[in-house]
């Protein structure tokens, strides 16, 4: 079956904030009528290069009941700054986490704002995550390895007030995951045969 949301919607192009609002509303209606199609799986592959450098490739996802190819393979590289023993060729993984959160909040405000008629002139943010490296470096076992706090300052010039914007922000999937946590299963293949 080759139906996809973008084919369903080519009837009207009433865009707001660069979002095809008509298509978005039809997407919501379609998934509401076909809840079994609403199970999405996003996927990526990571490969170590050397030292602190590795890269993640994204070329497909699962949506509407079938695998969906991306137009091209998107590659996300990481490295560390010199001070953390890297070559500073790319952001590091915990900076990528800040990029995921701030970009998700921006996208969510634009998309859901568009669906609700909110006009956006400008949207930008500054984000800062604090961590105590005594955790990651194993110096103090009582200190967590991850961020103990993230602060995001959103600057919005739009037709919505602060309360309405906060409602839109709160729909962000990455914000949900970071605030509430999620189940992460890890499976390791060492190449050794399993004992029977």
In whole angstroms, how close is the CB of 196 to a second copy at the nearest point? 16
CB distance 52 to 78 below 8 Å? yes
Residue 193 interacts with a second copy (CB under 8 A)? Answer: no
Q: Which of 1, 11, 142, 189 binds a second copy (CB under 8 A)?
A: 189
Binding mask 4-43 for a second copy (x = CB under 8 A): xxx--------x-xxxx--xx--xx--xx--x--xxxxxx
Q: Which of residues 129-168 bind a second copy (CB under 8 A)?
A: 129-140, 144-158, 160-162, 165-166
State the helix-helix crossing angle for 162-169 and 93-115, rounded to 10 degrees: 120
Q: Which residues have CB under 8 Å from 155's CB, separation 6+?
A: 122, 123, 124, 125
Q: Residue 134: CA atoms inside 13 Å, Cβ hemisphere, count?
A: 7
In whole angstroms, how close is the CB of 12 to a second copy at the nearest point? 13
Residue whose CB is less far from a second copy, 1 or 48: 48
In whole angstroms, how close is the CB of 66 to a second copy at the nearest point? 11
Tell me, by CB under 8 A, how many residues bind a second copy.
135
Own/partner long-range contacts of 162-165 (Cβ < 8 Å, ≥24 apart): 164/118, 165/109
> Which is nearest to 146 in space by CA: 161, 127, 130?
130
Residue whose CB is less far from a second copy, 117 or 176: 176
In whole angstroms, how close is the CB of 122 to a second copy at the nearest point? 7
In whole angstroms, how close is the CB of 71 to a second copy at the nearest point? 4
36 CB neighbour count, 10 Å cutoff: 8
Q: Which of residues 92-111 bind a second copy (CB under 8 A)?
A: 92-107, 110-111
Binding mask 66-85 for a second copy (x = CB under 8 A): --x-xxx-x-x-x-xxxxxx
Q: Which of 12, 14, 117, 126 binds a second copy (CB under 8 A)?
A: 126
Give the rounded distance of the alpha carbon of 129 from its chain centre: 16
What gap in Å lies between CA 55 and CA 77, rounded to an integer? 4
């Amino acid at each position: 079956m080759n139906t996809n949301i973008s084919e369903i919607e080519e009837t009207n192009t009433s865009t707001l904030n660069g979002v095809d609002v008509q298509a978005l509303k039809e997407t919501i209606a379609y998934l509401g009528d076909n809840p079994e199609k609403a199970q999405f799986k996003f996927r990526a592959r990571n490969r170590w290069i050397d030292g602190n450098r590795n890269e993640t490739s994204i070329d497909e996802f699962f949506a509407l009941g079938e695998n969906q190819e991306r137009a091209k393979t998107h590659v996300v590289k990481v490295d560390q700054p010199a001070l953390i023993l890297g070559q500073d060729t790319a952001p590091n993984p915990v900076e990528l986490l800040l990029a995921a959160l701030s970009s998700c909040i921006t996208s969510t405000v634009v998309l859901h704002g568009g669906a609700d008629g909110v006009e956006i002139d400008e949207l930008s943010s500054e984000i800062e995550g604090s961590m105590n490296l005594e955790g990651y470096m194993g110096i103090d076992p009582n200190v967590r390895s991850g961020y103990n706090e993230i602060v995001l300052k959103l600057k919005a010039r739009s037709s919505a007030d602060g309360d309405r914007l906060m409602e839109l922000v709160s729909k962000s999937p990455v914000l949900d995951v970071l605030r509430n946590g999620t189940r992460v299963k890890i499976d390791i293949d060492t190449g050794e045969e399993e004992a029977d």
